[in-house]
Homo-oligomer: A and B are copies of this chain.
């Protein structure tokens, strides 16, 4: 039965794809209208629309809820599993067309192992952890069916995929995720494809060292007891942007920030190397070494293409 369904889904993919493409093209001059039309069409009038049965592990978390809302809004059926209701896991996981893992970095590989044994072998398995090599490897190891690693480059406060980037790491049988990728694209999400290894290398700079800088900036301004409101009232646009980013960090949980910084040895080493760079340049400042600082600036300036 599952295999017949799967074949039916595959055969309908192409027509559904063409349909979506036409809609996007024809209404590309009217952005909001296009989102509305496609969503409405998907759910109520598209004769080829196939509602999926989705189970989100960590579905009660903030990112889990974001994906739940997006998938429900597109007409799919979504179940959540949290820490407290693993007793229903066997049923909810066995009947899912897609299982999405949305749990803390530290727990991801363990949850993959625990969940995989309940999955239908044809079910699609994906995670949204901010690390990709280990989770994708674990999903491929413990689940014989379709596998994909996702990393949404945004927090749970956004309202939709519109204008947001999602990194996509292929694992096995991408075709089984086509409908999900199309859903994100239809809602103007920006999909970026890369290997898990490239993702993890890039995130050392994009996430780990930046979280460290924002945390340190926040700690420093707190220890100096700076009047932030007054400083904002007389600041440059750049400073206001930077303070906004620090404020957003402290709206997150300490655990998430610390997990992101400590997730791999490579991240810890990069943070250590960044602090050394801070110390090296601060020594030049302490020594009022104008020439040394100008030399550092000029070297970096050529890298930045100026």
Contact = CB atoms under 8 A, between A and B. Distances in A.
Contacts of A167: 234
A258 B205 contact: no
A210 interface: yes
Interface stretch (A39-47, A48-56, A70-78, A248-256): A248-256
A37 interface: no
Contact of A235 (B206, B290, B297): B206
Contacts of A279: 275, 278-279
A181 to B, nearest CB: 15
A290 B260 CA distance: 11
Interface string A286-305: 10101001101111110110
Contact of A199 (B217, B234, B294, B303): B234
Interface residues of A, number: 78
B254 A219 contact: no
Number of copies: 2
Given A220-B274, A258-B293, A235 B281 contact: no
A173 to B, nearest CB: 23
Contacts of A11: none
Most buried by B among A199, A234, A245, A304: A234
Interface string A260-293: 0110000010111111011101100110101001
A266 B229 CA distance: 21
Interface stretch (A60-68, A141-149, A236-244): A236-244
A236 B304 contact: no
B245 A300 contact: no
Given A215-B297, A216-B277, A217-B213, A202 B231 contact: yes
A177 interface: no
Contacts of A222: 299-300, 303-304
Contacts of A212: 281-282, 285
Contacts of A285: 212, 261-262, 268, 271-272
Given A258-B297, A294-B254, A304 B154 contact: no
Closest 10 CB pairs of A and B: A275-B282, A222-B303, A254-B297, A250-B304, A278-B278, A254-B294, A250-B306, A218-B300, A222-B300, A192-B234
27 contacts: A153-B234, A154-B236, A202-B231, A206-B235, A206-B236, A207-B236, A215-B281, A215-B293, A216-B278, A216-B281, A218-B300, A219-B297, A222-B303, A222-B304, A241-B242, A241-B245, A247-B304, A250-B306, A257-B293, A257-B297, A268-B285, A268-B286, A271-B286, A272-B285, A275-B278, A275-B281, A275-B282
